[in-house]
Structure 1
C-alpha cells in the first residue's frame, strides 16, 4: 500500500466528546467478527491480547466484535457472549486492560435471527427464529430441514422477552463487565435489521407492516435500555444500503431512506427530550460487511442521515480506499460530530492510530485469516518498526482458552 500522508495535524486528531466521555481522536476500531472466543462463548486469552494491542494509543474507542445478547441470540461457534457470569468475568479482564491503556470500550449487542445456524441452535435446545419464516438462502433452508429445526416467526410473547428481559440483562452484564458504551447491532441483515426491512418482515401484527411497526422492536429496545445504561452511553448501528446476507436494500418494497429516516427521526425526538444517544454508527455503501463494493456498483448515500440526526456519528466503510490523501475521510470528519471506523486495517496494524497520525506504511490485511479459530493472523501482527517472527504452523495450533490471572 502507498505510504499514507500524516494526519496528525488534521481534525482526525482533535479530541471529541462522545456521549459521556471525551476521546483523544476520531479513529474507532469498528466491530469485527473474528471467532476467537472459547467454546462456551466466554472471551478468551487471545481476545485479551487482541483488544489490548488495539487500545494501546490512549483515548481510543474500541468496539467489540458482535457479541451474543443471549443464548437464543446465538447460533454460531466461538463468538463471545454477554449472558453468563463467566462472560462478564472474561470481558471485565479485557476491559481492565483497555482502561489500563487509558482507552474506552463499546460492546456490540448481537442477535442472529434467520442467519443463525439451525443445527447449532438445535444442539443447544433452541428454536430457529426470526421476524418471519423467510430463509436467507436455499442452503439455510436445507440446513434447517436436515437439523429438524425449521425457521419460524417469533411470537409476540417472545418479542416481549427479547425487549424486556434479554437485552436489559445483557446491558446490565455489559456495565458489570466495565464497558463504557453499549451499542445495539441493528445492521447487516441480523435480527433487528430483519425487523426493519419489508423483505424479511412479513408480519401482520404490531411488529410488521408499516414503518412504525417494523421499527417498533428497535425503538422499544432503545427505550428499555436508556434508563439502564444512560442515553449518553448507549448507541445503535444501522446499515441502510447493505445487501449483505441477501437483504434487498433499495430493491425492497419500501425505500431504505423511508425506513431509516423514520428511525433517525425517532432517535432525534428522544434526543430533543433529553435522551440523546452517545452515537449512531452508520455503515457506508462502499462496503458489504468485510468486502468493498466497486465504485460503479455502489448504491445509496448516507447524507440524508445528517439532516435528521443532530448527534454524533461513527461512519465506517473502506476509508483507506483513497489513501494516501484520505479525501473521503477528511471530508467526512469536517463535520465536527463525526468519527471514522476502521476494521480490516486495524486487524493488520495494531498501532493503526499511530500509523495514521505519523504517515507510516500500513501492513496489508490477510482476508483468509479473518474467520479462522486459531491465532495465525490474529495476534501475529507487528507494531511499526517491530520485527517479531511468527511461525504459521505453531500459531495455527494455538486456540482460545481462559484468560489467566497472570494475564491481568
Structure 2
C-alpha cells in the first residue's frame, strides 16, 4: 500500500498526504507584496498535504532579489492572508519560508534604507538580476554588529508572529542555499571571532538562538527549518566541518523541539551529493519529522517512506508545471515540462497558466 498518499500528523496538524510542495522563488510579488496572482498560484497547488511558500523576507534588509515577498508590513500580511485562506479552503496546510538573503542581494532590489548585511564583510562571487539596472555584481556586505544580529533575530520573531496573524500553520526558517542563516554556519562567509563565529558551536549560535526565540513566540510545533549540507549555492560549498557541524545543529534543534527539519539534496542539479552518513546522523539526532527533498519521483519517494528514511517528501520543480502533481503521481500520468524562461518573470505566463489534466480529481 502506498504511504505517499495517506494522512499523517505534523505536530498538531493533520496533513491529507505526505507530499510537500517545496519552497521555490517565483518573483511575482510586485512591490514585495503577494497579490491575487500569488494566491491563485498556491491555491492551484493545494493538492499537496503541506505547502511551503517561496522565500519571504522578515526584513527590508533581506529583500535581496527582485519582486520577492516580505512579511514585515501590514500590506504583506493582508496579501498572505488571501493565500492562506484559499489554500485552507482546499484542505491543504501551509508554512511560510522565512528567507533573509544576507549578502546575496543588491541595493537596487532593496527598499529605501535597506542594507546588505552579512556575518562578515566577505564578497559572494556572482551576479543577480535587478529590474532597475539589469545584471549586477554582488556588493561586499556590511559586517553585522552584535546589535544588528540581535535585531535580525527579533525580525524573524516578529515575522513569525505576523505569519500566524496571516493564517499560516507555521514557519520554515531558511538556513540553506547560501542565505543569511547559512552564511553564519559556513566558515568561508563567517570570519567572526566573537560569540557568533570561530568554532562550530559559535557558528550555529545565530541559527539556534533564532529557532529557540521563534519557537518560544509561536510554539515549537509551528517551526521547521531547511538545511542544505553539502549544498553549493551562492558561493558556499562543503567544508571540512560539514558532517560534525550539521550533526551538532540537529542535536540542538532537537533540544529546542521544533517540528521538522527539511533536508535538501541538490545533487540532481549538479551540487555534491549529501553524504549518507550525515543524513543518518541528522536522522538519529533529530527525533521529530524529517522532510527530504531533491530530485524525487514517486518510486524513490515511496522507497524512502517505506524504509523510514523520511517522514514526508518534498517535490519542487514538478509542482511548477503540474498544479495537480499529487493526482498525476497517484494515477501515473505524464508530467508537463517546466518552461525555464518564465521562472522569475513578473506575470501569469509560466506561473498560473499551466493546465490541469482533465482526468484529475482534486484530492481534498
TM-score normalized by the length of structure 1: 0.82
Specify the alignment match of 2:24 in structure 1. Answer: 32
Structure 1 residue 308 displacement after superposition: 1.4
Q: Does 1:129 align with 2:117?
A: yes
Aligned 1:119-158 pairs, distance under 5 A? 119-121=108-110, 124-137=112-125, 139=127, 150-158=140-148
Specify the alignment match of 1:367 in structure 2. Answer: 340
Q: Structure 1 pair 21/209, CA: closer, same or farther in 2 (3 Å)?
A: same
Q: Structure 1 pair 190/60, CA: closer, same or farther in 2 (3 Å)?
A: same
Structure 1 residue 328 displacement after superposition: 2.3
Q: Does 1:49 align with 2:30?
A: no
SS of 1:244's partner is: coil
Q: Which has the higher contact order (CA 8 A, sep 6+)?
A: 1
SS of 1:262's partner is: helix
TM-score normalized by the length of structure 2: 0.91
Q: 1:118 aligns with which of 95, 107, 112?
A: 107
* CA deviations over 1:125-159 (Å, ceiling 9, x no partner): 2222111111111658xx9xx99974221000100
SS of 2:353's partner is: coil
Q: Structure 1 pair 209/46, CA: closer, same or farther in 2 (3 Å)?
A: same
- The answer on whether the counterparts of 2:265 and 2:273 sit within 8 Å (CA) in structure 1 is no
Instruction: State the 4+ residue runs in structure 1 displaced beyond 4 angstroms.
Output: 146-150
Specify the alignment match of 1:277 in structure 2. Answer: 258
Specify the alignment match of 1:221 in structure 2. Answer: 210
CA distance in 2, matches of 1:149, 1:332: 41
- Structure 1 gaps of 5+ residues are 1-8, 271-275, 321-325, 388-408
* CA deviations over 1:34-54 (Å, ceiling 9, x no partner): 000122x11011111100110
CA distance in 2, matches of 1:328, 1:156: 44
Specify the alignment match of 1:347 in structure 2. Answer: 320
Q: Structure 1 pair 329/213, CA: closer, same or farther in 2 (3 Å)?
A: same
Q: Structure 1 pair 187/150, CA: closer, same or farther in 2 (3 Å)?
A: closer
Q: Does 1:331 align with 2:303?
A: yes
Q: Mark the structure with the bigger radius of gyration.
A: 1
- The answer on whether the counterparts of 1:29 and 1:62 sit within 8 Å (CA) in structure 2 is yes
Q: Structure 1 pair 24/120, CA: closer, same or farther in 2 (3 Å)?
A: closer
Q: Does 1:90 align with 2:82?
A: no
- Structure 2 gaps of 5+ residues are none
Structure 1 residue 119 displacement after superposition: 3.2
Structure 1 residue 14 displacement after superposition: 1.9
Q: 1:102 aligns with which of 91, 109, 112?
A: 91
Aligned length: 351
CA distance in 1, matches of 2:83, 2:120: 37
Structure 1 residue 22 displacement after superposition: 1.3
- The answer on whether the counterparts of 1:118 and 1:147 sit within 8 Å (CA) in structure 2 is no
